[in-house]
Every structure is written in C-alpha cells, then in structure tokens.
C-alpha cells in the first residue's frame, strides 16, 4: 500500500473549517484514500473514504486532487470535540481489508 505524509499537528478555531492535508504521491490506480480519527484514549472512528471523486458525508468532505497524489479532509465547522489525531490511509480494497496507520495529524480545535 502507498505511503502517506501528513503534518504532525495543526490547529484551528472553533466554528471555522479545518483543512487537513495528506500527501500520497505514490498512490496507484486501485488504491482508495481512507480517513479515520482517534480521540484521546478511544478506538479510531471511520470518517470518510474515496477513490477519485470528491466525497461528502455528515461528518466531513474529502477533496482528492485530479492526479490523486494528495487529498484534503475538510471539517466544515470544527468543534472542540473534533480535537483528535486524524489518520489518512491509502489501501487497496482487496480481501485483506487491512488498515496500516501512519503517524497522523494531531488537530487541536481552540475555543
């Protein structure tokens, strides 16, 4: 599976949009981009995933560049409860279904 690069930490003000970047320049054509987050001392939570089209759900939006070498997770109106470590994972949607976590981005939402 392709490697991802994320900034180690970011912060944003409560109520503003949080834009979390992820670089996956070695992604191949059949690899999906997944985002999970982990709030302190809890298990990770699925947020969103996509292949090449932009995706939106009730939690977030995922913007994938046309060349698929990078993506951005957008939390449109961040709240204090969105403070967490956000993981961008690239993997093939194959029968193993394994998720390999990188180091993620620690997002701090400021009041």
Partner 1 sequence: GAVVSQHPSRVICKSGTSVKIECRSLDFQATTMFWYRQFPKKSLMLMATSNEGSKATYEQGVEKDKFLINHASLTLSTLTVTSAHPEDSSFYICSARVGSAYEQYFGPGTRLTVT
Binding interface with partner 1 (CB under 8 A): 32, 34, 38, 41-46, 49, 87, 93, 96-104
Q: Scan for tokens 């956000």, then name that residue.
A: 86
CA–CA gap between residue 49 and residue 67 (Å, rounded): 17
Cβ at position 24, least distance to partner 1 in Å? 16
Cβ at position 7, least distance to partner 1 in Å? 14
Pairing of strands 9-13, 105-110: parallel
Cβ at position 15, least distance to partner 1 in Å? 26
Name the residue nearer to partner 1 (CB basis): 81 or 111.
Answer: 81
Closest among 79, 77, 10, 2 to 33, alpha carbons compared:
2
CA 24 to chain centre: 11
Cβ at position 99, least distance to partner 1 in Å? 6
Name the residue nearer to partner 1 (CB basis): 16 or 93.
Answer: 93
Name the residue nearer to partner 1 (CB basis): 4 or 70.
Answer: 4
Name the residue nearer to partner 1 (CB basis): 7 or 32.
Answer: 32
Q: Scan for tokens 């090449």, then name that residue.
A: 52
């Amino acid at each position: 599976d392709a490697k991802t690069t994320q900034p180690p930490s970011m912060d944003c003000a409560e109520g503003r949009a949080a834009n979390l970047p992820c670089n996956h320049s070695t992604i191949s054509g059949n690899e999906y981009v997944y985002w999970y987050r982990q709030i302190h001392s809890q298990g990770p939570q699925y947020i969103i995933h996509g292949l090449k089209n932009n995706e939106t759900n009730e939690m977030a939006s995922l913007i994938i560049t046309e060349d698929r070498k990078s993506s951005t997770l957008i939390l449109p109106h961040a709240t204090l409860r969105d403070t967490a470590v956000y993981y961008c994972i690239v993997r093939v949607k194959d029968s193993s279904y394994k998720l390999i976590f990188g180091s993620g981005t620690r997002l701090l939402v400021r009041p």
